Structure 1
Amino acid sequence: MARHDIEAARTFLFVPATRPDRFDKAVGSGADVVIIDLEDAVAPDQKAGARANVEKWLASGGRAAVRVNGRNTVWFGDDLAVAARATAVVVAKAESAADVAAVGARYGSGLPVVPLVETPRGLYASREICETAGVVRVAFGNVDFAAETGVDPASHTALSAARSHLVYASAAAGCAPPIDGVTTSVKDPEALSADTRHARELGFTAKLLIHPSQVGAVAELLSPSPQEIRWARDLLASSTGGVGTHDGHMIDEPVLRRARQIAARAASGGAVPDQT
């Protein structure tokens, strides 16, 4: 999977490394990126077997990213060893540039890296993490972060500052917008919708998912609407450069830049079909 594919992806679906029977099903879910999880979804006494599952499936032609345990764990080196054929490496508990650079030291900058920022320490290091060679975009580990700070992981208010910090760090480093954390309820579409809309409003353009049933709704919510696409295309078509007006609103370079971003996302496939 090329760097651009990771940058443009909207849906990242986790599947436990202990469930190889679900790997192909996850790929068939329509998720843009499947992440086989060697970290939280795998108990310590199951790590070796889980790595064997991943290695066998990837060797047979399977295509997925792999979440590895953090650099400061005893499993990190062995996890990296089976990630050579992965489409990307998702680094758990990233708290410094060194935590991420270890992937590049082993495989070079050609293997895309997605650090998971899950602690306040990682949040304050997010600018340097984003600037590390190989990093495509960062993801927010809202559940772990909430546990570290003693707040409800479902609270938009409590975690808004942390989310915005990741958006700003990503933009400052020239990374793609970050990936939001999970919605833990798989049977509450209203919560999923509210979480996704909130993340999008803050500047996130992708989300981590824990169940295939979440894929379609999140993909739609994170895609430019037909109205946004028409606005962007009409504005770009009418612009002659410099400052002007369109439908009674001022047009200048920042407005044009937003229109270009929407048009680019629509062109990459992240658009909702116009039903009118």
Structure 2
Amino acid sequence: MRAARSFLFVPGDRPERFDKAAAAGADAVIIDLEDAVGSEHKSSAREAAATWLQDGGSACVRINAADSTEHDADVAALGGLTSLVAVVLPKASGPAVASAVAQRTGAPVLALVESAAGMLRAAEIAAADGVVRLAFGHLDYAVDLGSDNGRTAMLHGRSTLVLASRAAGIPGPVDGVTVALDDPAVLDDDLAHARDLGMTGKLIIHPRQVDATHASYRPSEEEVVWAQKVLAAVDGGPGGAVRVDGDMVDAPVIARAQDILRRKDR
């Protein structure tokens, strides 16, 4: 969960797709019991998810929000399932519910922030017991704000989640979905924008988005060469700050170089 880059949704009422989603190459699969499932299918989706996990499947599960009549049943169904990777908590608006879900299920929580109320308490949610990542539900967030889903309108939300995650000592947040399935350039642009802001993963809705997501979070050849040069200079240098290609190299630069090399073979 801490290092996952791609989180692939699969509808909870389509159990015939669970194995296919698991084989698609995403770092994590999210069986969705919330938005992807109509009210008349909630119970059967919950049972299908629990059965698949009991039978050897491994995935995250997005449950219904705390104010939903389905929430308690979802949490109860997931309790004690050792192959449950994480619970995705939608409409997270405070730390108490997130911690309660983690305690009741015995699984870590990916808290999906989708409202102004949740955004104002993002730091508390990130620091809550059991929360391992934050994620951005930017589509619902835009509706809640009465705003469009443009970059400028969403910038504060994304940056707030990045800062909250860093302050809490958890990995950078997971960005929301890209709904344009037939235009790879849109996905690439969304990925680059989120990565530049400090987000470290993405919710995705189709297997064809997996490879682009992983490639986006993999360092370029130029970055790898630079990182190797930096660490070589430090290893062979006199200690303290050194210069590489005319730039000063000190502890933060060294840490960035180490991170690049850590990610290069993923």
TM-score, normalization: structure 2? 0.94
Q: Gapped runs of 5+ residues in structure 1?
A: 1-5, 270-276
Map of 1:8-87 to 2, 5 A cutoff? 8-84=3-79, 85=81, 86-87=84-85
1:231 aligns with 2:229: no
1:160 equivalent to 2:158? Answer: no
Give per-residue Cα distances to partners, 1:150-174, cap 9 Å, x unaligned. 2232x11210111011101100110
RMSD over aligned Cα atoms: 1.2
Q: Is the 8 A contact 1:17 1:50 kept in 2?
A: yes
1:47-82 deviation digits (Å, cap 9, x = unpaired): 101111111111111111000111222111111122
Match in the other structure for 1:3: none
2:90 and 2:118 mapped to 1: Cα distance? 10
Matched, 1:145 2:141: yes
Worse-superposed segment, 43-52 or 239-248: 239-248
Q: Report the number of matched residues.
A: 260
Equivalence for 1:96: 94
1:93: Cα distance to partner? 0.5
Query: Does the CA-based 8 Å contact 2:65-2:89 persist in structure 1?
Result: yes
**Pairing of 1:108-127 with structure 2 (within 5 A):** 108=106, 111-127=107-123
Letter in 2 for 1:97: P
Q: Distance in 2 between matches of 1:24 and 1:151?
A: 37
Tell me, which stretches of 5 or more residues in structure 2 are unaligned?
A: none
Q: Give the partner amino acid of 1:150.
A: G
Q: CA deviation at 1:266?
A: 2.5
Q: Tell whether the 8 Å contact from 1:8 to 1:265 is kept in structure 2 after alignment.
A: no
Show the counterpart of 2:264: 266
Displacement of 1:36: 0.3
SS of the residue corresponding to residue 82 of structure 1 reads helix
Equivalent pair of 1:36/1:65 in contact (CA under 8 Å): yes
The two structures have a TM-score, normalised by structure 1, of 0.91
